[in-house]
Amino acid sequence: MLFSTHASTGISIWSWLLLSTLRYLAVRHPLYHLRLWRMPYSVIAFVICTSVGVNGFLLFTIVATFTRAPAGGTYVECMEAPVISQTLILSFHALEILWSFCLPFAMIVFMDASVVLKGVTSPNLISNFKRRNRALRTVIINIKSASIQKHHAHALRSWLTIAVICILLNTPQNFINCMRLLQASVFETSLLNYIEITYNPFFRAFEIVAQAFYFGQFGFNAVYLVLFVFDKLIKPRSANKEQISTNTSRASKYLQNYKLNRNKDENVGLR
């Protein structure tokens, strides 16, 4: 169970990173993004294999022990068996924290920030567009500027909200893991037995909340898939056709007005 949750967390966070990477490539390197075919599938396979490998030591070092409760009965605890050196175990835990939290979140922040700062369109594409057809550029900008700004603002709010929620759900538990790692390295004890050294009820309450957030991230992923991914895939084609028809009629109208205004300007110049 412990191995499954840790490996699933790494896969989940790196899946977020994959989405951020695709957004980053679509905005910063659109031509390269169009050439991507099976790259996401290869990345997912690599992430799954790496997450399993990074957390594989848990299958050999974690054992379940039955402890008798003071009020009677027994309960199960997960303990680390000294099958390998404690230094090596701590190194594995540090690698797991780096892989499952530190590295992906740093890259997510960098890529999403780059997308936000870049904006919706590329300056190079705009300059080429200006040189090729100024009239067509004017028509498209008149049609799309309002809708693009609205869509960009909505997408920006969605990305920031998703990023903040994901960070809030994962940061507390990873903070506790870092505290465990630091304390275990100082006191040279098992990473899962740090409570025996310093028991604090407030810290225990914080740990319960952190674990609730930690396991809540899986439900949040399901909500994200339903609201932001699945909803896009099942969007009716009729709505797309209607939107295309509306944009086409607007483009024709703007183009006609542009030609009329240009003819008027030419007539005024001749006079």
Higher-confidence position of 181 and 130: 181
Q: How far is C-alpha 137 from the chain's CA centre? A: 34
Name the CATH superfamily for 2-234. Rhodopsin 7-helix transmembrane proteins (1.20.1070.10)
For residue range 84-124, what is the model confidence (pLDDT) as tens digits? 777 888 888 889 889 988 898 888 888 888 877 765 444 44
For residue range 210-258, what is the model confidence (pLDDT) as tens digits? 888 888 877 777 777 666 665 554 554 444 445 555 555 655 665 666 6
Q: Where are the domains of the chain?
A: 2-234, 235-271
Residues pairing with 79 in the sheet: 63
What confidence score (pLDDT) does residue 270 get? Answer: 53
For residue range 49-66, what is the model confidence (pLDDT) as tens digits? 999 999 988 888 877 777
Helix or strand or coil: residue 76? strand
pTM above 0.85, yes or no: no
Q: Residue 45 pLDDT more than 80?
A: yes
Q: What's the CA dihedral at 21, 24, 26, 28 to 10 degrees?
A: -140
Token pair listed for 148: 């693009």
For residue range 168-187, what is the model confidence (pLDDT) as tens digits? 888 888 888 888 787 776 65
